[in-house]
Amino acid sequence: MAEYVQQGLLAADLLCPHCQHKGLVNANLWQCKSCQKQYDFSIYCELCGDAVQRLTGCGSSEHYYCRTCKTPVSRKAVLYTMTEANNLS
Ligand SMILES: [Zn+2]
Ligand SMILES: [Zn+2]
């Protein structure tokens, strides 16, 4: 399955790998506003490559925590990996 990695963005700023348009985010599903393609996306630590945990509440919704590095990770230091969702309905 194809994977597409982007960095230094908000999830809402990810670009469609096919048409380079922005999309809508719904939990871990991303849908292109232009071509309607859907992608699952995951968020990884840039340093160690492990998945990071989203910190919620207190206005920190765009900060993450890496359990491996034991440190908070800013959104500019995470990698977004998009994979094509094949359960189109
Ligand atoms: Zn698209
Ligand atoms: Zn890490």
Ligand nearest to the CA of 47: 2
Residue 88 has a pLDDT of 52
Structure confidence at residue 62 (pLDDT) = 65
Strand partners, 74: 63
Q: How far is the CA of 74 from the centre of ligand 2 (A)?
A: 11
* Sequence ranges of the domains in the chain: 3-84
C-alpha 20 – ligand 2 centre gap (Å):
28
Task: State both tokens at 37.
Answer: 């393609």
pTM above 0.85, yes or no: no
CB atoms within 10 A of CB 39: 23
The CATH number that domain 3-84 falls under is 2.10.290.10
DSSP letter at 12 equals G
Mean pLDDT in residue range 15-26: 95
Average pLDDT score over residue span 10-33: 93
**pLDDT, tens digit (0-9, with 9 covering 90-100), for 23-67:** 999 988 999 999 999 999 999 999 999 999 988 766 555 689 999
Q: How far is the CA of 69 from the centre of ligand 1 (A)?
A: 34
CA 54 to ligand 2 center in whole angstroms: 13
